[in-house]
Structure 1
């Protein structure tokens, strides 16, 4: 089969799906499979001019909103770039972003399109203070789920929690398959170490939705309680300067290291002890599985797909979102009991190896893909 993996971000960009799909391609390189990657380069902006419509709603009702206008222009740009670059046909296209799926179906209406929904753009925009819940931008973005259901041949998502979320926006949610992200175990190499001072680490885009402010408040409380630690923050984003100022104001700047963006954080993570990310929303939370494969104890929030990865007290600890004291209590518990920390990390590693193995995910993808195999092959 000849398959196109259609991303939005180029594969060298940070993020679970963009970094995961190239490893999937490696597992499909056999005589029976031909697979290519496609994405929209960041330099392509404002090139498309095609008139666009949807089958299930009139997007122009929301057209005065800048975010809607930007989204539609990106859709036009993706169509323009696809026309320019793709000169061949495929047996199947697997899209990993709504714009990619809609553009591909527009240009290749007879090619089967499998669409994986990896995250909720509208929820992140709300949490980041960019749009209002039930505002026009929110209604536009959620209307796209019904359009995708109408246009593509098969829909998938990465967690049962996100599938439940889609119940409000699609007509046949039972037809959506859940397939979590998969991770190449060979990338992750746990390292035996004994840190005298607990090393906390987080890997995240620095945006309000990820709850970094809650993490800094929890760490300030840890310091007030007399605990020594180092907090490693890997990632960048629009609120980095604000977070650095907050760390100074809370008196924990000396305990906190801001690294910025790192291409391969999995090479650094095994030297830490505890992975923590207090997200306010998370469709899946790929970084938890990555941290588990690095043999770290996990502390996260009970939102979205995170509880599907973490069973509280068994392979990690869960706390409510937006509660720094609860987060501090969880971190303190893991920091103070090395045996408990080890057992959590061991259980997390075992579950990640069994459940999120790239080999298992690839086998399930193959079962999906062969349903669309041309009869002549």
Structure 2
């Protein structure tokens, strides 16, 4: 989303620069790290913590090397380490931080760390540090704002700005598939519930409901999923694509988007699938439940429930008219609620309130001539 935001702001005359830490920069930073709100040293020795601290050091080193003499009115960070580094290097410049997801929950769901362990305690302590060090905290869903707020002194100050998309990128195509085409797009990791998806599709096979499942994405459990599909007897009905740079170019040819995630801060791919005019099936968790109203613009199912998932998919497979109505409703909501224009407007108000004293409630249009 960020490159499209930068491009849109440039078109209206705002100079913007994108800055990130290149992958080739490793172990360059040597500066000692201190946090304002907690002592990180009790967590030292844990691999996740050590990598986080070293990445922070590298980001500080790279920022000072490349940006120290630059003059900015405002910095908008989209990763906690970026926000922490920028606030150190540019202490007099407002920093907006958008927290897009929970690193600790992802690591726990993917079996990388244990709940309640040192790594989770360290990573959740970062939220309060961000609250202390940035001018404004935003996130992408009310669900994640509630989660993050448990670790803050002033959770009421979190702003929710859902992701936005340029609908010109998405081009629905009229088609009539004889067999229902199901698709999922994600990184192949345990947190996405893809084992539940395969079990749900196996249940469809038992019910003699024909389908083809398209799995777009790659990740550490791909081989495990392929083996599972073979054991469940649905390998011939499943296509593993691997990583794809622009899946939105292929999505319009499918019928149903399905992703039974175990957790999701927002679930960007649901909005993208909706803009491609696909019917949506998701789990009743996090930001997914804010995008889908069950039976109104898609179907929600409980997590960890392959039978309920199969029931929802079967509903769409056997009732193309209902499927189309849900897809239309999902598309209409995505265009209205998750438009890039809306995001630009909200960000513009945010930026001006921090740099020019504009009240956040003031209309963007009132500032166009200033």
TM-score range, shorter chain: over 0.9
2:41 equivalent in structure 1: 60
Unaligned runs of 5+ in 1: 1-19
Q: How does 1:237-276 map to 2 (within 5 A)?
A: 237-276=219-258
**Matched residue of 1:145: which SS?**
helix
Q: Give the drift of 1:127.
A: 0.5
- The answer to whether the 8 A contact 1:95-1:113 is kept is yes
Q: Give the drift of 1:31.
A: 5.9
- The answer to whether the 8 A contact 1:115-1:156 is kept is yes
1:309 aligns with 2:287: no
Which residue of 349, 353, 362 corresponds with 2:331? Answer: 349
2:64 equivalent in structure 1: 83
Q: Give the drift of 1:32.
A: 3.9
Any idea what the Cα deviations from partners look like across 1:203-237, whole Å, max 9, x if unmatched?
00111000011001101111111111110101111
**Matched residue of 1:100: which SS?**
helix
1:97 equivalent in structure 2: 79
CA distance in 2, matches of 1:133, 1:239: 21
Which residue of 274, 294, 298 corresponds with 1:292? Answer: 274
CA distance in 2, matches of 1:339, 1:31: 42
CA distance in 2, matches of 1:118, 1:147: 16
CA distance in 2, matches of 1:285, 1:103: 27
Any idea what the Cα deviations from partners look like across 1:247-281, whole Å, max 9, x if unmatched?
11111111111111101000000000000000000
1:71 aligns with 2:52: yes
Q: Give the drift of 1:374.
A: 5.2
Give the TM-score normalised by the residue count of structure 1.
Answer: 0.93
Any idea what the Cα deviations from partners look like across 1:12-53, whole Å, max 9, x if unmatched?
xxxxxxxx1111112111464111111111222111111000
2:125 equivalent in structure 1: 143
**Matched residue of 2:289: which SS?**
helix
CA distance in 2, matches of 1:91, 1:32: 14
1:33 equivalent in structure 2: 14
CA distance in 2, matches of 1:27, 1:136: 41
Any idea what the Cα deviations from partners look like across 1:120-155, whole Å, max 9, x if unmatched?
000011111111111110000000000000000000
2:141 equivalent in structure 1: 159
CA distance in 2, matches of 1:327, 1:153: 42
Q: Give the drift of 1:372.
A: 2.4
CA distance in 2, matches of 1:304, 1:271: 28
Question: Considering only aligned residues, what root-mean-square deviation do their CA atoms show, in Å?
Answer: 1.1
Query: Which deviates more from structure 2 when the two are superposed, residues 328-337 or residues 27-36?
Result: 27-36
CA distance in 2, matches of 1:34, 1:149: 27
Which residue of 324, 340, 352 corresponds with 1:358? Answer: 340
- The answer to whether the 8 A contact 1:198-1:273 is kept is yes
- The answer to whether the 8 A contact 1:185-1:353 is kept is yes
1:12 equivalent in structure 2: none
1:110 equivalent in structure 2: 92
2:187 equivalent in structure 1: 205
1:24 equivalent in structure 2: 5
Any idea what the Cα deviations from partners look like across 1:65-109, whole Å, max 9, x if unmatched?
111001111111111111222141210000001000001001111
- The answer to whether the 8 A contact 1:201-1:232 is kept is yes
1:170 equivalent in structure 2: 152
1:319 aligns with 2:306: no
- The answer to whether the 8 A contact 1:91-1:374 is kept is no
Q: Which runs of 4+ in 1 moved over 3 A?
A: none
CA distance in 2, matches of 1:72, 1:150: 18
Unaligned runs of 5+ in 2: 358-369
Which residue of 177, 186, 201 corresponds with 1:219? Answer: 201
Number of matched pairs: 357
